[in-house]
Amino acid sequence: MKSRPKIALIGAGSIVFARNLLGDILSYPELADCEIALHDIDEHRLRLAEKVAHRIAGVLNVKPAITATTDRRKALDGARFAINMIQVGGYRPATVTDFEIPKKFGLEQTIGDTLGIGGIMRALRTIPVQLDMLRDMEELCADGAVHLNYVNPMAMITWALNRVATRVPTVGLCHSVQHTASELADDLGIPVEEIDYHCAGINHMAFYLKFERNGEDLIPRLKEIQRQQRMPDWNRVRYEMLAQLGYFPTESSEHFSEYVPWFIKTGREELLKKYNIPLDEYPGRCQIFEHAWPYIERELENPGSQDSSALIAELAAADIRVMQHQRESAARLLDGLHTVKRSVEYGSSIIHSIVTGTPRVVYGNVLNHHLIDNLPHGCAVEVPCLVDANGVQPTRIGALPPQLAALMRSNVNVQELVVEAVLTQNREHVYHAAMMDPHTAAVLDLEQIRAMVDELLRAHADYLPAYLHA
């Protein structure tokens, strides 16, 4: 490995996320002089990302080598780490299509990026692109290279890429475990630093197997919050799952509601109201960023020129249907464009541990090779991983509580069929995946499912390989 490790950010035009990751990486003294290679297919967004990278380096008074290129192979050439944050097809047209066509059939979604018909379609667009990228990595990257993937659907991508990888492992990274721990700490009135937790499962459906402070089990206190209905309104689904299953899930309520058949049902508006489930939440978030992007771009070009209060007023006038904290986050984003504050993302700490040998435990998505006994061998699981100079080393969990494993398997079934559809180029497995999806099957019959899949495949043809064309 070169003394100055090269870190490639693929999809660096995701400016906000790239900013967070760059701030995290360059805050480590041992990484302050690393080589940063920014890549995006959108040259305009790429140049803005380059400005952000130089600005962060200036704020931290460090001197990394920063390059920006639309040539993916050039970005990956010699890279020790590749951080992936692409979105194939973007919000328009791809995500809009993922929501609007199912809605015609009576199938409503909240986020649509992990499971469900939206997650299936996103995987079909994304995995082939990432497989091409993986081939480039295996040809061009440095010895011992690691692919850190932040792209959803996390489990399907992690599963597919690691099935075919020969020398570059993919570790899927998410922030749901650490974010949820902070949220629960707030509910309990306890500093999150005082909480000791242990978590395992699959991405966006892992559960806290232990949640303690100084040896005290905090789960009974969380159950009491549920019994007294004192949970935040936006978190009612997950507290219901705690009551029903005895364990608290890691992913947000709006996400979780579409992984199961119980919460979003045609003609059952009272369920949406009872559990405060925001339909079309992800398109709403994207609309916020459509409004926010001109402010962000002007602020990046001319620091100090933009007022977040004007953005807040514009968002209020637009009446975008999202949870209030999403509007507030857009304003915080604008105000924080020029600050460097460490995020909770694991990417930089993994890189630092591998480069310096500093041991850490993170939660990563890896293949289930004798890690969780009652989930299928070889599927993608999210477990604690020890990271040091030897790389990312997952830890064995054993058997999960049977009710949790049973619920996860309902999602793993869908993931497996999508991975098989892509790796064997078998279009029929796309229909099978949609048929097995818990939420889709709870709403649509078989004829509707096939018709919906056909229409989606036609609509996404420009982003899909030929064998998937309807």
User: How far is it, in rounded angstroms, from Cα 168 to Cα 80?
Assistant: 10
Chain-centroid distance of CA 183 in Å reads 18
Evaluated on CA atoms 96, 102, 104, 109, the torsion sign reads negative
pLDDT value of position 1 = 43
Q: What angle (nearest 5°) sits at the alpha carbon of residue 384, between those of residues 173 and 356?
A: 75
Decide: helix, strand or coil at residue 96. Answer: helix
First and final CA of the chain: distance in angstroms? Answer: 46
Instruction: Identify the CA nearest to 102 among candidates 469, 460, 427.
Output: 460
CATH 3.40.50.720 residue spans of the chain: 6-88+117-172
* Spatial contact of 353 and 359, defined as CB atoms under 8 Å apart: yes
User: How far is it, in rounded angstroms, from Cα 134 to Cα 264?
Assistant: 37
Q: Both tokens of residue 31?
A: 């990484």
Give the predicted TM-score (pTM) of the model. Answer: 0.96
Evaluated on CA atoms 177, 259, 235, 243, the torsion sign reads negative
Q: Which amino acid is at 361?
A: V
Phi, psi of 465 (to 5 degrees): -65, 160
Show Cβ contacts of residue 224 under 8 Å, excluding neighbours closer than 6 positions.
none
* Spatial contact of 300 and 339, defined as CB atoms under 8 Å apart: no
* Spatial contact of 149 and 157, defined as CB atoms under 8 Å apart: yes
Instruction: Identify the CA nearest to 277 among candidates 225, 224, 321.
Output: 321
Question: How many Å is the maximal CA-CA distance in the chain?
Answer: 61
Name the active-site residue from 54, 175, 179, 291. Answer: 175
Beta strand spans in 25-145 (E): 35-39, 65-69, 81-84
pLDDT value of position 5 = 97
What's 130-195 look like in SS3? HHHHHHHHHHHCCCCCEEEECCCCHHHHHHHHHHHCCCCCEEECCCHHHHHHHHHHHHHCCCHHHC
Task: Classify strands 216-217 and 35-39 as parallel, antiparallel or unpaired.
Answer: unpaired
CATH of 6-88+117-172, one of 1.10.3080.10, 3.30.70.120, 3.40.50.1820, 3.40.50.720: 3.40.50.720
User: How far is it, in rounded angstroms, from Cα 455 to Cα 448?
Assistant: 11
* Spatial contact of 71 and 10, defined as CB atoms under 8 Å apart: no
Decide: helix, strand or coil at residue 88. Answer: coil
Q: What angle (nearest 5°) sits at the alpha carbon of residue 367, between those of residues 365 and 373?
A: 105
Show Cβ contacts of residue 293 under 8 Å, excluding neighbours closer than 6 positions.
none
Element (H, E) at 363: strand 360-367
* Spatial contact of 460 and 129, defined as CB atoms under 8 Å apart: no
pLDDT digit of tens for each residue in the chain (470 aa)? 457 999 999 999 999 899 999 999 999 999 999 999 999 999 999 999 999 999 999 999 999 999 999 999 999 999 999 999 999 999 999 999 999 999 999 999 999 999 999 999 999 999 999 999 999 999 999 999 999 999 999 999 999 999 998 899 999 999 999 999 999 999 999 999 999 999 999 999 999 999 999 999 999 999 999 999 999 999 999 999 999 999 999 999 999 999 999 999 988 999 999 999 999 999 998 988 888 899 989 988 888 898 888 888 888 888 777 766 666 777 777 777 778 999 999 999 999 999 999 999 999 999 999 999 999 999 999 999 999 999 999 999 999 999 999 999 999 999 999 999 999 999 999 999 999 999 999 999 999 999 999 999 999 999 999 999 97
Instruction: Identify the CA nearest to 217 among candidates 246, 253, 254, 174.
Output: 246
Q: Which amino acid is at 89?
A: G
Q: Both tokens of residue 384?
A: 């604690």
* Spatial contact of 68 and 41, defined as CB atoms under 8 Å apart: no
CA distances in angstroms from 200 to 99, 336, 366, 372, 432, listed in the order given? 30, 33, 12, 8, 27
175 is catalytic: yes
CA distances in angstroms from 223 to 198, 211, 226, 260, 403, listed in the order given? 18, 12, 5, 21, 18
User: How far is it, in rounded angstroms, from Cα 109 to Cα 103?
Assistant: 8
- In eight-state DSSP terms, residue 400 is P
